[in-house]
Amino acid sequence: MNNGQIYLDYAATTPTDRRVLEAMLPYFSEVFGNPSSIHRFGQDGEAAVEEARETTAGILNCSPSEVVFTSCGSESDNFALRGAAFAARERRGASRILISPVEHHAVSHTARQLGKLHGFSIEELSVDEYGAVLVDAALSRLGPDVAVVSAIHANNEIGTINPIEEIGAACRERGIPFHTDSVQAAAYLPVDVQSLNVDLLSLGAHKFYGPKGVGALYVRKGTPIVPVQTGGAQEGGLRAGTQNVPYIVGFAEALRLTNEEREDRQAHVMPLRDRIIGTVLEEIPQSKLTGH
């Protein structure tokens, strides 16, 4: 609460957990070296980044080399879609991009621009009345000319959870890169990239009590992707630019705490959710629950 107000928009952003902030603080003024520098100060910064990468990889169930740190979830979405689309066209002439009609704008607007400026054909997958992708209909659209498929994990506005595992398995079988935007989902659902069958997965720290301005993209080993930000060898050569050490540390700590405390948080929040929904439906005429 703040001045009598109650904040209920945690789907938009969360406050930074004090434990996360405490983990970040030393890297602003004590361990401040550029991680790309070869001297001791730089080595200490690099060590912090790589420890954060290992923590993140452990939670995602992937190799540390498959974790790319970014500035936010939107950048991760942009990188995934652009990088995979350009690589697919260069390698196999694929020119179709499939997305769901309920994607975050970081995906839908990026796809639209790829169509307008770069000649890709953008197609929307069919969804049901709750906004969930219809798997059978999606499978019928998959072909060798598809560059990349993207379906949001959990919708940021209506909360609908998509059948990511099924879509991912179908894409994997056909050799089509599959991306999911898990920015909203990570606070509430386990994000195991092996179980989800994804090649690319986006995250943003501020959705799970981390700082704003830092995110990550999982890139499965062997997935063709073209860097869209060049000028340095950082992040395995996939994203140039001086790494933001304190924020990367904060990202990993926030993800760790979220993973450890998810069940307790759900046990606290779900009864509140059910009470609010039940009261609204009961007290407000013609009200309707959207999503599921």
The answer to whether residues 79 and 70 touch, using CB atoms and an 8 Å cutoff, is: yes
Burial 16-54 (b: 16+ CB within 10 A, else e): bbeebbebbeebeeebebebeeeeeeeebbbebbeebbe
Residue 78 forms part of a structural domain: yes
Return the DSSP state at 180: E
Q: What share of the chain is helix, strand, coil (3-state, %, to 5)?
A: 45, 15, 40
The confidence band for 291, taking pLDDT boundaries of 50, 70 and 90, is confident
Q: What pTM does this model have?
A: 0.95
pLDDT score of 135: 95
Q: Is residue 12 part of a domain?
A: no
Please check whether residue 281 lies inside any domain of the structure.
Answer: no
Residue 14 lies in a domain: no
Look at residue 230 and tell me if it is in a domain: yes
Axis-axis angle for helices 40-60, 245-283 (nearest 10): 30
147 in Cβ contact with 114 (< 8 Å)? no
64 located within any domain: yes
Domain-located, residue 265:
no
Look at residue 70 and tell me if it is in a domain: yes
Q: How far is CA 174 from the centre of its chain?
A: 23
Q: What is the pLDDT of residues 217-237, one digit of tens each?
A: 999 999 999 999 999 999 999
The CATH number assigned to the domain holding 90 equals: 3.40.640.10
Mean of pLDDT values over 101-114: 97
Q: How many domains does the chain have?
A: 1
Is the confidence at residue 1, as pLDDT, over 70? no
Helices H / strands E in the chain, number of each: 9, 7
Alpha helices (H) along the chain: 18-24, 26-29, 40-60, 73-92, 105-118, 135-139, 164-174, 193-196, 245-283
Strands 67-70, 215-219: pairing kind:
antiparallel
Give CA angle at 37 (63, 230), nearest 5°: 65
Residue 151 sits in which domain range?
Answer: 24-253
Torsions phi, psi for 31 (to 5 deg): -100, 80
Percent of the chain at pLDDT > 70 equals 99
pLDDT digits (tens, 9 = 90+) for 247-270: 999 999 999 999 999 999 889 989
